[in-house]
Structure 1
Amino acid sequence: MRIDIADITPDRVAALRASAPQVFGGTVASRLASQAVWAGLIVLAVYCLVRFDFSPVRLWNGLGQLGAIIRHMFPPQSGGAFMEFAGAILQTLGMAFLGTLFAALFAIPLAFLGSKNILRFSPGRFLVRRGMDFLRGVDQLIWALIFVRAVGLGPLAGILAIIVSDTGTLAKLFSESIENVDRKPVEGVRANGGDPVQTIRYGFIPQVLPMFLSSTLYMFESNVRSATILGIVGAGGIGYHLAERIRSHRWEEACLILIMILVTVGVIDFVSKRLRQRLIGKATH
């Protein structure tokens, strides 16, 4: 619609300002509220910096010490334990794979029970969702410390920590996918006499399966990094060897371990990204 400049009168501008004040910069109250929020954030940031004893001098000294550590890391050396490191990398990959696999399997029924278009019983759905929140609300590192005390040192504690934490995360992602499905295929299955199991099998799963697989691959990619950290607290894998080298100040060997971790994570990221792109492309098609 074309507007002539002659039609823009002060009365018309005043009427438009009254009907849509946010277009003209908002009301005085909204601007004051916005400024108060920004001022509050700035005050909170300054308080946290002071409370945590942040200072440029301390940061500069820390960077100097970090530079000294980096100088001790080169050239990287294996100390005769290269094959041991390679085996630990494979153990870390196995922890991430098993943890992600079982987490995905456990998350699928929880996701259906936590979706409002599957479970109409609100109290039951509420309990399932709060259970998801609890599982993913506790960090993997905390779960690893708990399981190290429960089952002892080794990869089993790391696998259990990944399973528990990722079950909550994947169940949340899966349930959101289920709630956003196209209703037409679902209604078509029901119209042809499909029971609830058949409705889920033929109405929901074909739509959500590519997203399930894509999310699982992404979590596996993330868990390869997480499993390294879990090893530092005694859950096995390459993280255990890294923590041991750092504690004993064997920085050349620690540098080699870091390089091996970076190469492994880079390869996993590349392969996982390609697979996710193919799955998402098939889902769109």
Structure 2
Amino acid sequence: MIPTQEDIRTAMEAHPRVFRDTAAMRARKIALWVGFIGLFCWCLYDFNFAPERIWTGLGRLGRVLSFMFPPYFWSTWAEWLEILTALGETIAMAFLGTVLGAVVAFPLSFLGAKNINRIFWLRQGTRRGYDIIRAFETLILALIFIRAFGLGPLPGILAIAVSEIGTFSKLFSEALENTSRKPVEGVVASGGSRLQAIRYAIMPQVLPVHLSVLLYNFESNVRSGTILGIVGAGGIGFLLSDRISTYHWDQAWTMIFMIIAMVYLIDYLSGLIRTRIIGKSELAK
């Protein structure tokens, strides 16, 4: 039955909130928008986001970019070896930090999953531990570890590993909680123990998710490793910082291009690994 105009008018009078906002709701929305726009404008003003300053900064940026071209190409194998060694150091730093973080986070994730750990206080305490670890930025951890262990890749590895413990633990525990109960019930119904239910019913469901998280975070840590090198944790970032501080912009641009190519290659290879192990059908979901 198609409603008439009279039916619609009657329904609107009986249930006005279904068809339009009340005056109070409209006033609240207007107040929120005014507050948001006011806060945004105040931030621009407080940070001196003036058009003249932006225009001047763009001019300086253009001059810096002009110094980067043409890119510099080193003429001796010894010079290339220094750059390639630094790139390999950055990749190794990201790889070791990611693996160490995952190794520690894997058992901790079981303590934070509510379908695995039924002890409330232990589960909540573990989860708050995740939050405390993730509250420290990787760069801050690197500065602390550089003070403790000195310059070089070791502080960068430890900074990435500690940061990833909190991230991996949270993501792994959430993956455990989102598993289906039906495989677990099937293992238990066939006489399996709780550990066997975890091994044969839960782990096959979460391992593809864990692998995907590991590969993505490894890509991210390669980029983070570059930043950590700038503060003294070794790798290509250390050489990049040195070239920028000495105004060798053409060499800095060549290093930036190599970093971009390295990240692209790692992203491509990790995509192949995910496709091979997880499967195209699962990645498409």
State TM-score, norm by structure 2.
0.93
Give the secondary-structure state (helix, strand or coil) at the position aligned to 2:62: helix
Corresponding residue number in structure 1 for 2:234 = 236
Corresponding residue number in structure 2 for 1:72 = 67
When residues 26 and 280 of structure 1 are mapped into structure 2, their CA distance, relative to the original with a 3 A threshold, is farther
Match of 2:52 among 30, 54, 57: 57
- Whether 2:203 is the aligned partner of 1:205: answer yes
Question: Which amino acid counterpart does residue 235 of structure 1 have in structure 2?
Answer: A
Is residue 90–residue 235 contact of structure 2 (8 Å, CA) maintained in 1?
A: yes
When residues 178 and 243 of structure 1 are mapped into structure 2, their CA distance, relative to the original with a 3 A threshold, is same
The number of equivalent residue pairs is: 280
Give the secondary-structure state (helix, strand or coil) at the position aligned to 1:275: helix
When residues 199 and 9 of structure 1 are mapped into structure 2, their CA distance, relative to the original with a 3 A threshold, is closer
Is residue 12–residue 19 contact of structure 2 (8 Å, CA) maintained in 1?
A: no
More displaced, 146-155 or 184-193? 184-193
Deviation string for 1:168-208 (max 9, x for gaps)?
Answer: 11111111111110001112222233223222111210110
Deviation string for 1:71-120 (max 9, x for gaps)?
Answer: 11111114552221111001111111111111111111111110111111
Corresponding residue number in structure 1 for 2:273 = 275
Corresponding residue number in structure 2 for 1:36 = 31
Alignment of 1:4-23 (within 5 A): 4-5=3-4, 8-15=7-14, 17-18=15-16, 21=17, 23=18
Runs of 4+, deviation exceeding 4 Å = 282-285
Corresponding residue number in structure 2 for 1:196 = 194
* Residue 248 (structure 1) shift: 0.7
CA root-mean-square deviation: 1.8
Aligned-pair identity (%):
49
- 1:130 and 1:281 map into 2 onto residues whose CA distance is 36
* Residue 213 (structure 1) shift: 0.3
Unaligned runs of 5+ in 2: none
Alignment of 1:1-285 (within 5 A): 2-5=1-4, 8-15=7-14, 17-18=15-16, 21=17, 23-79=18-74, 80=76, 81-278=79-276, 279=278, 281=280, 283=282
- 1:280 and 1:108 map into 2 onto residues whose CA distance is 23
- 2:125 and 2:19 map into 1 onto residues whose CA distance is 46
Question: Which amino acid counterpart does residue 45 of structure 1 have in structure 2?
Answer: F
Deviation string for 1:254-273 (max 9, x for gaps)?
Answer: 01100100111111112223
